Amino acid sequence: MGSEQILKDTDFLVSQTDEKGKILFANEDFCKIAGYSLEELVGKPHSVVRHPDMPKAAFKDLWDTVKSGKIWTGYVKNATKNGGFYWVYAMVFPNMSYGNNVIGYMSCRRKASVEEIAEAERLYKTMV
């Protein structure tokens, strides 16, 4: 298993996807932490950084929330290109059209504290 990438306090990862979760944009911090170039990420499903330790129920909750037009927040363990991982506190926003249809998503992520990660790991062990 690869090593953990610890975010700096100033790291702020941003990505934008279409309504199906395909990456349209990723900022420099996201590319650097995940280990991908922007060209490698654009057009790929956001699940390219999904870590197998994350329970499916967490992503079901995320998708159910944002598809209904609400903002989802939570802790996510993501995978890096080289087999490592990193933890973030994520806020996922639905991008709404003028007709109130979801046309994509924006995700903003910051460093998660050691305590936040420990709590998320405890919770995720109880989920499927």
| Three-class DSSP category at 68 | coil
Q: Report the percent of the chain where pLDDT is more than 90.
A: 90
pTM of the model: 0.92
**Domains along the chain with CATH numbers:** 12-125 (3.30.450.20)
Mean pLDDT value of segment 106-111: 98
- Please return the burial class of 110, using the count of CB atoms within 10 Å of its CB with bins 0-12, 13-18 and 19+: middle
**What's the rounded Cα separation, in Å, for the pair 124 and 114?**
15
Give the model confidence (pLDDT) of 9-29 as tens digits.
Answer: 999 999 999 999 999 999 999
Give the model confidence (pLDDT) of 54-95 as tens digits.
Answer: 999 999 999 999 999 999 999 999 999 999 999 999 999 999
Instruction: Tokens 């994350």: give the residue.
Output: 54
* Nearest C-alpha neighbor of 102 from the set 16, 30, 8: 16
Mean pLDDT value of segment 118-125: 94
